[in-house]
Structure 1
Amino acid sequence: MSRKMVVFFMLLALIVAVNGQTFHFGSCPTPPVQQNFDVGKYLGRWYEIARLPAVFEKGKCNQATYSLLKEGVVKVVNAELLKNGEINSIEGQATVTNSTQPAKLDVTFFKGIADAPYWVISTDYTSYSVVYSCRNVFGLLYVDFAWILARSRTLPDSTVSQLRGDLESHGVSLRGMTLSDQTGCDAMPEGQGQ
């Protein structure tokens, strides 16, 4: 089999594997991250307001809780409410890999699987956060994720529009971004994910 055919089948397999993901030809954009990021102020609960497609998110009421494990290492607990009423959660770790850029973390949920970037693009720590993650694949395309998070289950539409515009101004395509469902979340205990 020729090298071109191998690459074609690898790309085809990748497209099938990332069904529902946002992928593009080229290389990951590199938006600037939050200056003087303070992970201590970032800890606590964040609710998902909007996101690019993520095959690993299947429910609603998505939320993330961050707590400090040790200097430069954050415990991450993501939780969501599934259609059958069950709460699905997963625990991982986010690590600051370069102390001069603390807003660029690497997150992992499974041993043996490569860390994923978790870049805090902007946050005011008290109401909103914009997070971006991107991985180059075979030097030909990239798969990316973006989230708009809030400290409450709602965020004004004008704020969401502004945050979307900020991401797009740095070359991030948000064509597939959807608003997250944060209604009917009573089954999500306030302590869930801590």
Structure 2
Amino acid sequence: MFKYISCCLLILMVRNAEMHSYHLGACPTVEPQTDFRMKELLGIWYVIEKTSTASSCMVYNITESDEPYEYVIEEISQHFLLALTPLKHGYHYRGTLRVPDPAVPAKMTVSFPLSVAGTSSFTVFMTDYDTYAAIFTCQKLTFAHRQSATILSRTKTLDRMYIDKIRSRLSQSQIDPFELSIIKQNDCPKNASEGFNININNYSVSAKGAADVIRKAGEKLGDGVEYISGKTKDVYNKITSDSQEVTTYGKREDYTRSVKSDVEWLP
């Protein structure tokens, strides 16, 4: 069980190291959507592009919570590290969205379990609610910041016209659109809850327990990621220095970038 939890948290750390880019200075200013209506943003969104990730079949589900001006965001995806095992896996990561200023509802904060660095900004800067949406998140660090942009669609594909429009807006805000990776939405499980699932939410792991597991999991990084099958006890190893190739497109259609599976202590 401990090795299972270690593997889960290791995947969590790698996942969050991927999905951001790091820059010096303060977070860039991204203007939020005007006349924003949060209720129309609720529901299922397919992730079409996202900053530096090797995950696939990524879906967001945004729902209301019991608290006013508070929402739940759940990310469901398939991570490339999970492909090292012979089982079907679904990765679930649940966080909380909050609206600090109801006068600017498109400018929110987001917090996730095990986050040592605290909350991040979460800005919806473009959407028509029915077809596409675009999100920018940023988290302040001591002398820098880490940022992530996400292009969403109500369907598994999105017309290039909308993608170009969003990428152009990112460029205008001094955010490099070529840091975005294409998220594969083909050959995905019809039901995200099928098979073996990794669920991480605010109630799954205590702070002290998580810290112990993360520390011990980190000790295993030199040997790679280890998975032990419950039935056969077969051991599958993948050295963390290996790379996963991620494709981007735009003016650099043939450009591929290797995302290294480094360990990151900040969700």
TM-score calculated relative to the size of structure 2 = 0.59
- The CA RMSD over aligned residues, in Å, is 2.5
Which residue is 1:164 aligned to? Answer: 167
Q: Give the deviation of 1:116 after TM superposition.
A: 1.5
Q: Distance in 1 between matches of 2:24 and 2:125?
A: 22
Change (3 A) 1:190 1:112: closer
Q: Deviations over 1:26-68 (max 9, x none)?
A: 32111101012111111000110001125xxx53110010111
Which residue is 1:25 aligned to? Answer: 24
Q: Distance in 2 between matches of 1:112 and 1:104?
A: 20
Aligned residue for 1:34, secondary structure, equals coil
Q: Distance in 2 between matches of 1:175 and 1:161?
A: 12
Higher helix share: 2
Aligned residue for 1:35, secondary structure, equals coil
Q: Give the deviation of 1:158 after TM superposition.
A: 2.2
Q: Give the deviation of 1:135 after TM superposition.
A: 2.0
Which residue is 1:97 aligned to? Answer: 100
Q: Which amino acid aligns with 1:179?
A: I
How many equivalent residue pairs? 173
Moved more, 80-89 or 38-47: 80-89
Q: Distance in 2 between matches of 1:138 and 1:72?
A: 29
Q: Give the deviation of 1:131 after TM superposition.
A: 0.2
Larger radius of gyration: 2
Say which of 174, 178, 185 aligns to 1:175. Answer: 178
Stretches of structure 1 lacking an aligned partner (at least 5 in a row): 1-16
Q: Distance in 2 between matches of 1:99 and 1:26?
A: 28
Which residue is 1:44 aligned to? Answer: 43
Q: Which amino acid aligns with 2:57?
A: C
1:29–1:170 Cα contact (<8 Å) kept: yes
Aligned residue for 1:175, secondary structure, equals helix
1:64-143 aligned within 5 A: 64-69=60-65, 70-82=67-79, 83=83, 84=85, 85-110=88-113, 113=116, 114-139=118-143, 141-143=144-146
Which residue is 2:158 aligned to? Answer: 155
The percentage of counterpart residues that share the same residue type is 21
Which residue is 2:55 aligned to? Answer: 59
Q: Distance in 2 between matches of 1:173 and 1:101?
A: 25
Q: Distance in 2 between matches of 1:145 and 1:19?
A: 10
Q: Which amino acid aligns with 1:53?
A: S
1:93–1:107 Cα contact (<8 Å) kept: yes
1:81–1:188 Cα contact (<8 Å) kept: no
Stretches of structure 2 lacking an aligned partner (at least 5 in a row): 1-15, 200-267
Q: Which amino acid aligns with 1:93?
A: T
